[in-house]
Amino acid sequence: MQSFSTKNHRRRAIIAVGSAIALSASLAACTSTNDDTGGGGEGEGTSHLAALQEAGSINLGFFGEVPYSYEDDSGELTGATIALGKEIYGELGIGTVEGTQVEWNALIPGVQAERFDAVSAGMSITPERCEQAAFAEPTIMYTTAFLVPEGNPEGLTDWQSIEGGDVTVAVTQGAIEAGYAEETDVDSIEVPDRQAGLDAVVSGRADAYALTGISLRALADQTDEAVEATEAFVATINDEPQIGAGAEVFRQEDTELLEAYNEQLAEYRTDPAKWLSVMEPFGFSEVEMPPAEMTAEQLCDPDQDLSDLADELGMDF
């Protein structure tokens, strides 16, 4: 999912996530490592990483969104972030990757409540989310697109093309597009998942469904409905380009596991061929590979000027 990062407005963009965090105490802890410290070896007991290595398996929370993390028709857990996770966790001695599917707003509460060990959903790194969980270094770059009726009757091309117009846009609950719509006063309806977003467009309840470009390309290819995905674009909100990057998510105290994951991830972040070998089968291209110089710390910083960051990283929008 994408990242809504406007400096002084981002606090409102993930309101749904913040609300969901308040419910985290009600989630039952069902990870296989409930009796460990979860704190990277600090304190008494076995560290979370060591417990996972001993068990040889890890349970990942996922949303069920193609092409990031989902179950295929045979029920096998797959997707780009899952495939990358299998490589990295395997290198850490954790050979089995299992999954628990939840709604988007339950991902961070679920990992916090130890319902699963980490989140693999391509979740965008935002300052609001960084207050609740720890993000690995950026793994995927995002662009935005619209799913529209064939022929794109409203002529939608970018976020500005829906601002101030007579257009209703479907957005996924808790996703960054919901924040975009709120911040720009775009008329929107919230849906729980991609199928509901597609249904909203097909039924005419929404003129478009806003989501990541790669997700909507996959959705348009998979359906027989008369819809298409627009060309992807970098959303500009309040004159600031939205640099969206997603990553694996861990509990804040799980420093040892996070550091071990990042150490292995670095080999993929600095080697396009190695990154593409895992991601390309799921429709990703080098365009979606984040610059190696981009860090989670930068995207977690609420005072980071994204225009300056784009210039610093040599990104041209």
CB atoms within 10 A of CB 95: 12
Class of domain 144-233: alpha beta
pLDDT in the model for residue 194 = 92
Q: Does residue 45 register a pLDDT over 70?
A: no
pLDDT in the model for residue 35 = 40
Higher pLDDT, 183 or 31: 183
pLDDT in the model for residue 178 = 94
Write b or e for each residue in 139-154: b if 16 or more Cβ atoms lie within 10 A of its Cβ, otherwise e.
bbbbbbbbbbbeebeb
The average pLDDT across 63-80 equals: 95
* pLDDT tens profile 288-312: 899 999 999 999 999 988 778 878 8
The average pLDDT across 152-168 equals: 96
Q: Name 219's Cβ contacts closer than 8 Å, sequence gap at least 6.
A: 66, 147, 194, 197, 198, 211, 229
pLDDT in the model for residue 258 = 98
Q: Does residue 317 register a pLDDT over 60?
A: no
pLDDT in the model for residue 302 = 93
pLDDT in the model for residue 305 = 85
Q: Does residue 197 register a pLDDT over 60?
A: yes
Q: Does residue 285 register a pLDDT over 70?
A: yes
Q: Which of 20-34, 117-131, 270-284 has the lowest mean pLDDT?
A: 20-34
Q: Which amino acid, one-letter code, is at 275?
A: W
Percent share of the chain, pLDDT over 70: 85
Please tell me if the domain spanning 10-141+242-312 has the same topology as the one spanning 144-233.
yes
Q: What is the pTM of this model?
A: 0.73
pLDDT in the model for residue 56 = 98
* pLDDT tens profile 164-188: 989 999 999 988 899 999 999 999 9
Domain map of the chain by residue range? 10-141+242-312, 144-233
pLDDT in the model for residue 72 = 95
Name the pLDDT band for 29 (thresholds 50, 70, 90).
Answer: very low
Look over the chain and give the mean of its residue pLDDT values, rounded to a whole number. Answer: 87
Q: Does residue 241 register a pLDDT over 50?
A: yes
Pick the CATH number of 10-141+242-312 from 3.20.20.140, 3.40.50.1100, 3.40.190.10, 3.30.413.10: 3.40.190.10
Q: Does residue 195 register a pLDDT over 90?
A: yes
Residues in the chain: 317
Write b or e for each residue in 273-295: b if 16 or more Cβ atoms lie within 10 A of its Cβ, otherwise e.
eebbebbeebebeeebbbbeebb
pLDDT in the model for residue 171 = 98
Tell me how far CA of residue 151 lies from CA of 146, 169, 234, 292, in angstroms.
12, 17, 22, 38
Name the pLDDT band for 7 (thresholds 50, 70, 90).
Answer: very low
Q: Which amino acid, one-letter code, is at 81?
A: T
